């Protein structure tokens, strides 16, 4: 069994590939970059990182190996465990290289370190594309910067002939305006200013409220990002947290969109009012909380967040459990 090849194939399709009991490979997508001044083009790409904390088996790798090898799921899982045992033995005595992916080694503090090679772009949309640079069209840039000269009176005879003074005198017209008209104009301007002040005041208050909510959500997202990948302080921990995965299709009393979601559950409630109260509490703390898929026995589940990306869900779970030290568990919906 070529486990390394199967991992590489999955990295083209998934954001997270978990090796049970060993860790997880995570990918991050980078968009296309085009610099019109230097002529540099960079295609879309996906970079790889490794998280030692995510070790729970999600079934993805074992199912793929079973399909490729033509064996049952338990046999595929046993083959993966045997291969990972061989990896651990190699790491005890040498640096282990995964061709096309990266290399593993232990540092001076006996912590596992992963160094990606970066030679393969795992973004399927970028197959056949490579970075290149062309010479920018400097002639067009210079042409756009040229300002046409202003014609002089000597070069335009029509401008020389048109020297007669204008007959319209603003001062004379201004004197003819009545005082009543002036007061009316002043009154209209004053009413318009009062209305504009009231409208802008309300707009300012609403804008400040939205900014406060957005700031709270950004702080939560930043803390999740830092907590999920700060492996230097907690990489030596050995965690054994069973993942609770619900695979039933019972919708319960809460309507859930079709498709597969990865949710981080904060609690389950029998009473609708209590569930809504918990939902509002999480939203006030800056979480993008939502109702998740109901349990088979009808309990209403409230989630810190629901994601289409397994990688984002794992980030939030790690932040809540190890940074906030709150209770939460992982749920796959519509599986």
Query: Do residues 194 and 124 share a domain?
Result: no
13-52, pLDDT tens digit by residue?
Answer: 888 999 998 999 998 777 777 777 776 767 777 788 899 8
Question: Which of helix, strand or coil describes residue 327?
Answer: coil
Q: Are 233 and 96 in the same domain?
A: no
In a domain, residue 141? The reply is no
Could you tell me if residue 94 is inside a domain?
yes
What was the pLDDT predicted at 277?
94
Q: What's the confidence (pLDDT) of residue 149?
A: 57
Return the closest-CA partner of residue 295 out of 258, 260, 256.
256
Query: Domain for residue 166, yes or no?
Result: no
pLDDT (0 to 100) of residue 183: 74
Q: What was the pLDDT predicted at 126?
A: 59
207 and 128 share one domain: no
Question: Domain for residue 159, yes or no?
Answer: no
Q: What pLDDT score does 296 carry?
A: 86
Q: Residues 69, 188: one domain?
A: no
**What secondary structure letter does DSSP report for 125?**
G
Number of domains in the chain: 2
Q: What tokens appear for 62 in the block?
A: 């074992």
Burial of 245 (0-12, 13-18, 19+ CB in 10 A): middle
Q: Is residue 165 part of a domain?
A: no
pLDDT at 235: 44
The verdict on 193 and 103 lying in the same domain is: no
Residue 154 in domain: no
Give the domain range for residue 58. Answer: 3-133
Q: What is the pLDDT of residue 333?
A: 87
Pick left, alpha or beta for residue 285 (phi over 0 → left; psi -120 to 50 → alpha; otherwise beta).
alpha
197 and 324 together in one domain? yes
Q: Which of 74, 104, 133 is the endpoint of a domain? A: 133
Q: Pick the last residue of a domain from 133, 165, 200.
A: 133
The pLDDT, as a whole number, for residue 218 is 64
Q: What value, to the nearest 5°, has the Cα angle with vertex 273 and ends 269 and 274?
A: 45
Q: Taking Cα atoms as reference points, which of 47, 46, 48, 59 lies closest to residue 19? A: 59
Last residue of a domain, one of 66, 100, 133: 133
* CATH code, domain with 223: 3.30.70.1070
What is the distance between the terminal CA atoms of the chain, rounded to a whole angstrom? Answer: 27
Residues 186 and 334 in one domain: yes
94 and 227, same structural domain?
no
| Domain contains 145 | no
Residue 93, in any domain of the structure: yes
pLDDT mean for each 10 residues of the chain (335 residues): 87 88 87 74 79 87 90 91 89 85 85 80 63 63 56 52 49 55 78 74 65 62 49 43 40 47 92 93 91 90 92 89 86 80
What pLDDT does residue 302 have? 95
- 191 and 322 inside one domain: yes
| Same domain? 17 vs 104 | yes
CA atoms 24, 22, 100, 63: torsion sign: negative
Whole-number Å distance between alpha carbons of 273 and 141: 64
What contacts 269, CB < 8 A, 6 or more positions away?
275, 278, 299, 300, 302
335/196 same-domain check: yes
d(CA 226, CA 44): 24
Are 123 and 195 contained in the same domain? no
């Amino acid at each position: 069994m070529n486990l390394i090849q199967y991992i590489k194939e999955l990295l083209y399709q998934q954001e997270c590939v978990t090796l049970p009991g060993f860790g997880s490979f995570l990918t991050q997508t980078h968009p296309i970059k085009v610099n019109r001044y230097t002529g540099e083009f960079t295609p879309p790409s996906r970079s790889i990182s490794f998280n030692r904390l995510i070790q729970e088996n999600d079934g993805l790798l074992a199912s793929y190996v079973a399909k490729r090898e033509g064996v049952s799921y338990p046999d595929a899982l046993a083959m993966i465990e045997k291969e990972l045992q061989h990896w651990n033995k190699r790491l005890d005595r040498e640096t282990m290289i995964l061709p096309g992916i990266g290399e593993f080694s232990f540092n001076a503090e006996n912590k596992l370190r992963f160094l990606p090679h970066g030679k393969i772009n795992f973004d399927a949309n970028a197959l056949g594309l490579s970075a290149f640079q062309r010479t920018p069209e400097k002639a067009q840039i210079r042409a756009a910067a040229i300002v046409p000269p202003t014609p002089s009176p000597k070069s335009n005879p029509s401008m020389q002939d048109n020297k007669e003074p204008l007959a319209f005198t603003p001062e004379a017209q201004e004197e003819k305006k009545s005082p009543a008209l002036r007061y009316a104009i002043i009154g209209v301007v004053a009413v318009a200013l009062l209305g504009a002040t009231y409208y802008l005041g309300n707009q300012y208050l609403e804008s400040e409220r939205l900014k406060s909510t957005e700031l709270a959500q950004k702080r939560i997202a930043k803390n999740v990002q830092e907590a999920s990948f700060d492996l230097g302080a907690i990489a030596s921990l050995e965690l054994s947290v069973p993942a609770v995965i619900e695979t039933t299709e019972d919708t319960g009393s809460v309507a859930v969109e079709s498709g597969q979601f990865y949710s981080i559950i904060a609690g389950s409630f029998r009473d609708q009012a209590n569930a809504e109260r918990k939902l509002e509490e999480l939203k006030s703390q800056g979480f993008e909380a939502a109702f998740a898929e109901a349990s088979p026995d009808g309990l209403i589940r409230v989630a810190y967040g629901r994601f289409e990306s397994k990688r984002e869900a794992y980030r939030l779970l790690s932040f809540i459990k190890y940074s906030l030290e709150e209770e939460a568990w992982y749920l796959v919906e519509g599986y």
